[in-house]
């Protein structure tokens, strides 16, 4: 009998362990399925829904700061609404304000002496008034050749008497790129067209052809590389010196692909790091290209900086000496917003924690907007 009981107990324990294991797997799979469902709903929102992160009316039911006041006043009778209509007066002088800083060219149209005769009585006409019409004139860019002729002088008396003739040469500005056709204006034009106007070099190549001049994209690329290294590097370093002296900085990094980089595939992921000053400091924004997202890059770039660094939470910024990391509330709000969008429709109006976090961010941003133009002393 004891042997039979022992035989029956052993399968029961095995079944119980197996049942517990299966229940654990079901819980894990259920949680994973729920996560995938949330991600699917969120991807659908991103694909077909509005791209903005505006707070909808059903997300405002939970108030973090003034919940008591809202609940206390919820039974009050709503005052009758009154619609006030008015006609907005057209703003005067807007065109004159836009044109006042532009150079002005005046073209006058007068009657000739023979035409200044009255058709009725034959008397002479006099100027009674003027009619003015304004228009803007766009002067297209043009390409022209500037010849720098440098004169060399010698003494004829010394030449006649066979004395060592001193040669004097007129001073001349140094070329911006020795051995090339580049001038300061042409080099700056190519750079601004590409990086300010977003015009690729192959389009600039076609544009110069329409100007009547052939300038290859390879030549323009060499101009930009040389100009950035020889001339703009000094400005960059000076701006970095001022940036590191600030108390508050912002930093971020983003991915990009570089074509024809030596030793790397075109599909390799590289990073562009951005560092900029805060609202109170001078407006300085600097970029630094790196092949990786390693934490050694901000450590090297920010060497000597002491203060607050506003980042998105990436761990690569942690451990910087003499630096206090400051989180980004915009990124935090986005996570709350995504959590709400990932909820099923039946739970959209439920008082979940994500709704409380979203409302907190909304209230915080409202205070920030009110204090936008305030001085640091007034803000704190």
Do both 307 and 256 map to the same domain?
yes
The answer to whether residue 376 sits within a structural domain is yes
**pLDDT band at residue 91 using 50, 70 and 90 as cut-offs:** low
**Tell me, what's the pLDDT at 313?**
83
CA dihedral 171, 176, 181, 187 (to 10 degrees): -140
**Tell me, what's the pLDDT at 323?**
95
The answer to whether residue 161 sits within a structural domain is no
Last residue of a domain, one of 324, 341, 356: 324
| CATH number of the CATH domain containing 269 | 3.30.420.10
Do both 320 and 333 map to the same domain?
no
**Tell me, what's the pLDDT at 63?**
42
Percentage above 90 pLDDT, the chain: 50
**Tell me, what's the pLDDT at 61?**
45
CA dihedral 8, 10, 16, 22 (to 10 degrees): -120
**Tell me, what's the pLDDT at 34?**
82
Beta strands of 193-284 (E only): which ranges?
248-256, 270-277
Last residue of a domain, one of 282, 307, 324: 324
The answer to whether residue 333 sits within a structural domain is yes
Is the dihedral angle over the CA atoms 279, 298, 285, 245 positive or is it negative?
positive
* Residue 236 scores a pLDDT above 90: yes
d(CA 183, CA 185): 5
Per-residue model confidence as pLDDT tens digits over 49-74: 666 666 555 544 444 334 444 444 44
Q: Which position has the higher pLDDT, 37 or 195?
A: 195
- Token pair, residue 299, equals 């450590």
**Tell me, what's the pLDDT at 79?**
46
Do both 301 and 360 map to the same domain?
no
Which of helix, strand or coil describes residue 223? helix
- Token pair, residue 347, equals 């739970």
- The domain of 376 spans 328-380
Do both 269 and 315 map to the same domain?
yes
| CB neighbour list of residue 274: distance below 8 Å, 6 or more residues apart | 250, 251, 252, 253, 254, 285, 286, 287, 288
The answer to whether residue 141 sits within a structural domain is no
* Residue 222 scores a pLDDT above 80: yes
Do both 304 and 334 map to the same domain?
no
pTM of the predicted model as reported, rounded to 2 decimal places: 0.67
Name the one residue in this structure whose structure tokens are 């750079």. Answer: 191
Do both 252 and 304 map to the same domain?
yes
- How many CA atoms lie less than 13 Å away from 201 in the CB half-sphere? 12
d(CA 33, CA 77): 47
Say if CB 278 and CB 307 are below 8 A apart: no
Do both 252 and 302 map to the same domain?
yes
Do both 320 and 250 map to the same domain?
yes
Per-residue model confidence as pLDDT tens digits over 127-154: 999 999 999 999 988 999 999 999 999 9
d(CA 47, CA 44): 5
Do both 337 and 369 map to the same domain?
yes
Radius of gyration of the chain (CA): 37
Do both 344 and 370 map to the same domain?
yes
* Residue 83 scores a pLDDT above 60: no
The answer to whether residue 34 sits within a structural domain is no
Do both 290 and 312 map to the same domain?
yes
Name the one residue in this structure whose structure tokens are 């990786």. Answer: 292
The answer to whether residue 228 sits within a structural domain is no
Of 302, 335, 337, 336, the closest CA to residue 321 belongs to 302
Of 165, 161, 145, the closest CA to residue 215 belongs to 145
**pLDDT band at residue 172 using 50, 70 and 90 as cut-offs:** very high
**pLDDT band at residue 246 using 50, 70 and 90 as cut-offs:** very high
Do both 251 and 320 map to the same domain?
yes
Last residue of a domain, one of 324, 339, 368: 324
The answer to whether residue 82 sits within a structural domain is no
* Residue 309 scores a pLDDT above 90: yes
- Specify the number of domains making up the chain: 2
Indicate the average pLDDT of the chain: 85
The answer to whether residue 342 sits within a structural domain is yes
């Amino acid at each position: 009998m004891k042997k039979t009981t022992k035989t029956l107990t052993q399968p029961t324990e095995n079944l119980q362990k197996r049942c517990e294991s299966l229940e654990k797997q079901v819980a894990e799979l259920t949680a994973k399925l729920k996560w995938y469902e949330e991600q699917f709903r969120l991807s659908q929102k991103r694909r077909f829904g509005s791209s903005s992160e505006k707070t909808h009316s059903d997300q405002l039911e939970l108030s973090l700061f003034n919940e008591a006041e809202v609940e206390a006043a919820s039974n009050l009778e709503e005052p009758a609404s009154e619609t006030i209509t008015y006609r907005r007066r057209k703003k005067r002088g807007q065109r004159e304000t836009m044109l006042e800083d532009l150079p002005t060219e005046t073209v006058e149209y007068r009657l000739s002496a023979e035409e200044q005769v009255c058709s009725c009585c034959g008397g002479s006409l006099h100027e009674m008034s003027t009619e003015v019409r304004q228009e803007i004139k766009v002067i297209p860019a043009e390409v022209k050749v500037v010849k720098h002729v440098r004169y060399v002088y010698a003494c004829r008396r010394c030449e006649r008497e066979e004395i060592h003739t001193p040669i004097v040469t007129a001073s001349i500005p140094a070329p911006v790129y020795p051995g090339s056709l580049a001038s300061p204006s042409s080099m700056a034009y190519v750079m601004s067209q590409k990086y300010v106007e977003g015009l690729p070099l192959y389009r600039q190549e076609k544009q110069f052809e329409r100007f009547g001049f052939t300038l290859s994209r390879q030549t323009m690329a060499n101009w930009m590389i040389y100009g950035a290294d020889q001339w703009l590097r000094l400005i960059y370093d000076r701006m970095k010196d001022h940036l590191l002296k600030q108390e508050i900085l912002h930093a971020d990094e983003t991915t990009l692909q570089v074509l024809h980089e030596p030793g790397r595939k075109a599909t390799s992921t590289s990073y562009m790091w951005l560092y900029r000053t805060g609202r109170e400091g001078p407006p300085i924004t600097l970029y630094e290209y790196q092949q990786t997202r390693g934490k050694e890059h901000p450590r090297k770039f920010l060497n000597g900086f002491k203060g607050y660094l506003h980042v998105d939470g990436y761990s690569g910024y942690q451990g910087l000496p003499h630096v206090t990391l400051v989180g980004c509330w915009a990124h935090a709000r986005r996570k709350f917003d995504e959590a709400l969008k990932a909820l099923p429709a039946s739970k959209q109006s439920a008082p979940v924690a994500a709704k409380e976090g979203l409302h907190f961010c909304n209230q915080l941003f409202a205070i920030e907007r009110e204090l936008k133009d305030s001085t640091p002393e007034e803000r704190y």
